[in-house]
Chain A
Amino acid sequence: MCAGDSPVPETAVTNTGPPLHLAQIGLEGHLTMFARVSLSAHIREELSRRGLFERIAMTLGERLGVERVTSQELQAQQATLVGFTRHQADWSVAALAARLAPAVVLTDDLALRRGLEARGQTVVGSVGVLIRAFKTGRCTKADLDTSIDHLFDGSTLYLSTGFRAYVRQLLQSLPA
């Protein structure tokens, strides 16, 4: 459906959501728009449990980095993310973001997003990746419309179905 390979020189740390949701609609290849995608061993485990890590690893190749996060780093994030998230995997994402200072953190989790944005991190979800794929010529406007539909229909991403119409409305003004 979408093709092309024009990597944006940006680095990303990712949570489970975006690679999972993009893989569920067959578009994990869009992650190669990043020069490097880092994820914690916790996130690798989550993707492995869903049978997706090997697929993501094969897609990203040398762009993928899997990093161990120490218990001290996790504890530090647990303290700063109180009120946002209680999940160790989320703390590991925040720890990696603090250590690597990536251009962007990828997550579809609103609570983690809020916590990371509160500390000034740029956070983007699967919708942003799909739109960036269009903007960088990896897919057509028609492909983008289809992939947005599939994201809301075909993945486990939770957003009210009202968002599909809302996103379509936001994208209406884009050239075909």
Chain B
Amino acid sequence: MAPVLTFRDKLEYLVHATGRAEGEIVAQAVEQGLTALYRSHVTEAYLAGEVDREQALSAVGEATVAELDEARRAVEHDVRWGLAGA
């Protein structure tokens, strides 16, 4: 089984592989992680009706919101179809 890499292992790898400063890599990781968390949270809040479409558009972009709208319509249709069965 492959060994589980720690945060430190990954950071050291990136420092050696890219030649960039440790602080710079950590800052980028925090930025990317925060962006991913933010997008994930806004997505779920939009589906839950806690964030309106305009807010979602500015947070995650038109393509993602359009995909979510389409998936939501599909799920709603599935629910209607499922409940229509005798």
Minimum CB distance partner of B76 in chain A? A170
CB distance from A3 to the nearest CB of B (A): 17
A169 contact set on B, CB distance < 8 A: 48
Q: How far is the CA of A123 from the CA of B75 in the complex (A)?
A: 11
CB distance from A105 to the nearest CB of B (A): 12
Interface residues of B in 30-86 (CB under 8 A from A): 43-48, 67-68, 70-72, 74-79, 81-86
Q: Secondary structure of the A side of the interface?
A: helix
In this complex, the interface size class of chain B, counting residues with CB under 8 Å from chain A, is 20 to 34
Q: How far is the CA of A134 from the CA of B86 in the complex (A)?
A: 11
Q: Are A136 and B85 in contact (CB under 8 A)?
A: yes
Interface residues of A in 157-176 (CB under 8 A from B): 159-163, 165-167, 169-171, 174
Q: How far is the CA of A166 from the CA of B76 in the complex (A)?
A: 9
Let me know if A127 is at the binding interface, CB within 8 A: yes
Interface residues of A in 79-101 (CB under 8 A from B): none
B76 contact set on A, CB distance < 8 A: 170
Q: Are B47 and A134 in contact (CB under 8 A)?
A: no
A60 contact set on B, CB distance < 8 A: none
CB distance from A143 to the nearest CB of B (A): 14
Candidates A104, A110, A135; contact of B74 at CB < 8 Å: A110
B46 contact set on A, CB distance < 8 A: 162
Number of interface residues of A (CB under 8 A): 32
Q: A162-B47, A166-B47 are in contact. Are A134 and B82 (CB under 8 A)?
A: yes
A161 contact set on B, CB distance < 8 A: 44
Chain A 116-133 per-residue mask, 1 if CB under 8 angstroms from chain B, else 0: 000000111101111111
CB distance from B52 to the nearest CB of A (A): 15
Q: Are B68 and A128 in contact (CB under 8 A)?
A: no
Which has the most chain B C-beta neighbours within 10 Å: A133, A163, A174?
A163
Q: How far is the CA of A169 from the CA of B77 in the complex (A)?
A: 14
Minimum CB distance partner of A33 in chain B? B85
Q: A160-B47, A162-B43 are in contact. Are A171 and B70 (CB under 8 A)?
A: no
Q: Which 3 A-B pairs have the closest CB atoms?
A: A131-B82, A128-B78, A162-B44
What are 23 A-B contacts defined by CB distance under 8 Å?
A8-B86, A110-B71, A110-B74, A122-B81, A123-B74, A124-B77, A124-B78, A125-B74, A127-B78, A128-B77, A128-B79, A128-B81, A129-B82, A131-B83, A134-B82, A159-B71, A160-B44, A162-B46, A162-B47, A163-B72, A165-B44, A166-B48, A167-B79
